[in-house]
Amino acid sequence: MTYDVYMHFPVIAIMTLFVGAFLVTLVGKRQAARNAIAGAAVLVSLTLLALLIKPVMVDGEIIMYWMGNWEPVEGYAIGIAIEVDALSLFFGLLITIAVACSAFYSFQYIKQDDARGSFFTLYLMLSGGVLGIVLSGDLFNIYVMLEVMTFAAVGLTAFRTWNPNAREAAFKYLVVGSIGSTCALLGTALVYAQCHTLNLAQISAILPGELNPTTVLAFALLFTGFGCKSFMFPFHPIAADAHGAAPSSVSVLISGVFTKTGVYGIIRVCYFLFRSMGLSSVQIMLVVIGCISMFVCVTMALNQHDFKRLLAFHSISQIGYILTSLGLCTGLGIAGGLYHAINHTLFKGLLFLTAGSVLYATGTTYLENLGGLAKKMPKTTALFLIGAFSISGIPPFNGFYSKWIIYQATFEKAAETGSIGYALVTVVCVVTSVLTLASFIKVGHSVFFGQLRPELAEAKDPPLGMRIPMWILGGLCVFTGLFPNVMLDYIIIPATGAVFNAVPYIDTAMGEGYAAAHLASTSPFVTPNYTLLGGWDPLAWLVLFVVVLAAVFLCSLAGRSNRDVNCAPDSKHAVFFGGEEAQYSHISGGDLFWGFKHTMRRYLGFVSGAHTGVTNDYVLWGVTATAVIIAYCFAFML
Amino acid sequence: MNKKWKRDDLIVRSLADSYLPIALVLGFYVILHGNISPGGGFQGGVLAASGVLLLYLGYGFKGVATAVNMERMHKLEAVGAIAYVLFAMLGIFCGYNFCRNVLWDSGEIGDVWSSGTIALMNYSVGFKVLTGVGFLLLLVIALLATGEDEEHSGTITTTEHEELERGKGK
């Protein structure tokens, strides 16, 4: 075995976070020491993973690390492994970036809260658990880390214990989340019974091609387990509750990081362990679940009256994009899905942090109580606009490029298979994107634009310590949108290649030729093809954007003299308001798109009514989903 | 719970007195011999932590609160976890992998001290579980005790917020 220093980096990156969590407990009430430890822990783990980009992403190396040097004996991997290929590193990087930004934001943000001592313990535990999942090469370790992560997240959701909503949300999260954990554990046990090993690489070599009832059940259970962790369709209401109640910096983790472990798990299960993505039934299952998630959640988001709940539903909607794209099983599809995964972490992180800043400044996130904050919080407004443009897929921001790839991937899949269904998927994707834009117009209008509410006159931008992490995320949103080729070449394409080709992953762990000896019976996936139908030149779009913006600006300047700039309430308008003087007439966000909402009232009413907020109902949904997925797998996979 | 029930029952107290050393000795025995006999740090830690419950049964909340410092127990749990990671890190310091047993050729097979780092890591797990489970039991007991005025004075603060409130009250 060749010895390199960077072999130790993954395990140290995970352990730094855990040791940081315990050290935070030790220093107790000293706030400066607490912040220093937490900041150092997240920065060290970010740096260590960033140093791995060169060997793993560029040189295509796979880091295989046997804990305690327990290497495989006689073809059986008994030891616990950490295996970092390009896919693991991709998720590890996006996790550590979000964790670092959010941690630095929290230093200032949680100053208003009590029980600050335990915040960073749980926060670092959650980060360590998440990082452990994506870097681990052992199925049972993934389950253990899943539990660490879930319980830390439940604790953080209930962090503001004075808020009854937070306690309720944490309880729902605990109950529904344990459905997912149970499914994952049962699936792991069945896989272990079948393969007599828990090493991911060895299972990936032995298991594929042996679809008997046990393995199909294991597949369905693992899929549901990780799907629950990614909050896919029937599990989504708990995410909305949790995001609404948790502190914003925790929402960043739950939305941007926690859900990604579910996506990562689904990729590992479908593309590696069972290699079942070649079956069209599995592809259709993922695509359908993705489409339902994105459409249902975006329509739910249109109806929300709370900033953070709205963002939460959008979060699941974007996860729907990722699942759909991953379900296509084409090079373009996976590249689009992974690209959207990193973009989602960046822009949703940014949006949750702006929501947190609004809460910090005004004490509320209820859309009807906000308005006109652009005058008081211009910097936050600028950041919100970056995030909103990114998530709505407006060029030149990053959401556009990944959505563009996803549209093309679905369309190419339709052309390839000749089925009208995949063309419909493209339509659903585009419609969802439009509805996303619509709901962000609603948020922008009711929070940042329009008339300033009199009671918000005291609001001001958050302190610099909170703005810097937001600017970093905003800058990354713009960077990933403007230089997609850099992202594709160095990050996305290596990760996509790793998804398609499990052979190096298996061979690095089990020795040369192991994969060839065991995998011969299963057909490998088609070589990925990344060519896009149409060109996307971000600079050309940026020029167009600037020209349009300049034109709008000029027009508005030209009409300035004719306009009543002050917009002061004028008694001459009183007749239009029933003869009384209108003191305040803010058009609230709920008033926008009333025509659309009225036309769709049956559907929207039905969807809203279905989200009862009762834990029992959500458990019923979860159990039903598990049953349906198991039945589907038995019907179409065997 | 019936509030008139007296905690300082002679029978319960003398049984607690006699079982407490047994629980502790058994717990520490299982931790110490974790590497050569069934059981280990986790099981032994839980057994030893049951001493907290016995104390509570015999002496009530006040007795536990005076005998055990809850805040210190909470911090010692973190020490146990950090000790585990440090022993695991010894592998990296000695040029092997994480968790590698670097003192593996220590002692005769069958001796208590025969498994090198494994035993040390086992002891840290035992320490962590002993303090962690003990802390959890204390937390539950403290929650039970808040209802009774007589014993309320011994309540241990769990959040800084509560502490602030109490400071204001004084």
pLDDT band at B149 (very low <50, low <70, confident <90, very high): very low
For A475-490, give one letter per residue: b (16+ CB within 10 A) or e: ebbbebbbebeebbee
Tell me the nearest-neighbour CA distance from A135 into chain B, angstroms: 15
Whether the predicted pLDDT of A562 surpasses 70: no
Say yes or no to pLDDT of A137 above 70. Answer: yes
User: Which pLDDT does position A586 carry in this prediction?
Assistant: 60
Residue with tokens 């072999």: A7
pLDDT in tens, A173-218: 999 999 999 999 999 999 999 988 999 999 988 888 778 899 999 9
| Residue A66, helix vs strand vs coil | strand
Tokens 């260590």 correspond to A48
Find the closest chain A residue to B158 by CA distance.
A115
B127: pLDDT strictly greater than 90: yes
Q: Tokens standing for A75?
A: 């073809």
Q: What per-residue confidence (pLDDT) applies to A291? A: 94
How large is the average pLDDT for residues A401-410?
Answer: 88
Is B75 within 8 Å of A26 when comparing Cβ atoms?
Answer: yes
Q: Assess whether pLDDT exceeds 60 at residue A150.
A: yes
Give the phi and the psi of residue A481 in degrees, each rounded to 5.
-80, -35
Question: What pLDDT was estimated at residue A1?
Answer: 44
Q: In this predicted structure, what is the pLDDT of residue A520?
A: 59
Residues A272 and A203: their CA atoms lie apart, in Å, by: 8
- Nearest one of A559, A595, A397 to A483, comparing CA atoms: A397
- Lowest-confidence pick of A338-352, B99-113, B137-151: B137-151
Contact assessment for residue A308 and residue A251, using Cβ atoms and an 8 Å cutoff: yes
Chain A residue nearest residue B76, CA to CA? A26
What are the residue ranges spanned by the domains of chain B? 10-169
Where is pLDDT greater, at A99 or B68?
A99
Cβ within 8 Å of B, A 26-65: 26, 28-29, 65
What is the ipTM, given to two decimal places?
0.81
Q: What is the pLDDT of residues A332-357, one digit of tens each?
A: 899 999 999 999 999 999 999 999 99
Torsion angle in degrees (nearest 10) through CA of A80, A323, A348, A384:
160
pLDDT of B154 above 60: no
Lowest-confidence pick of A430-444, A547-561, A565-579: A565-579
Reported confidence tier of residue B151, pLDDT bands at 50, 70, 90: very low
The residues, ordered by sequence, that sit 6+ positions from A201 with a Cβ below 8 Å of its Cβ are A77, A81, A83, A137, A505, A506, A508, A509, A510
The residue of B70, B93, B97, B156 whose CB has the most chain A CBs within 10 angstroms, and thus the best one to mutate to test that interface, is: B97
Which among A461, A448, A454, A530 is positioned nearest to A492, based on CA atoms? A530
Is it the case that residue B97 has pLDDT exceeding 70? Answer: yes
Give the whole-number percent of chain B exceeding pLDDT 70.
80
Q: How far is A25 from chain B (nearest CA, A)?
A: 6
Average pLDDT of chain A, as a whole number: 86
Q: What is the pLDDT of residues A278-297, one digit of tens each?
A: 888 999 999 999 999 999 99
Tell me how far apart the alpha carbons of residues A17 and A28 are, in angstroms, rounded to a whole number: 17
Nearest chain B CA: its distance from A38 CA (Å)? 15
* Residue B4, pLDDT above cutoff 70: no
pLDDT score, position A208 = 81
Question: What pLDDT, on a 0 to 100 scale, did the predictor assign at position A287?
Answer: 94
Looking at the partner chain, which of B89, B100, B161 has a beta carbon nearest the beta carbon of A68? B100
Task: Output the pLDDT for position A82.
Answer: 92
- Residue of B101, B161, B164 lying closest to A68 (CB–CB): B101
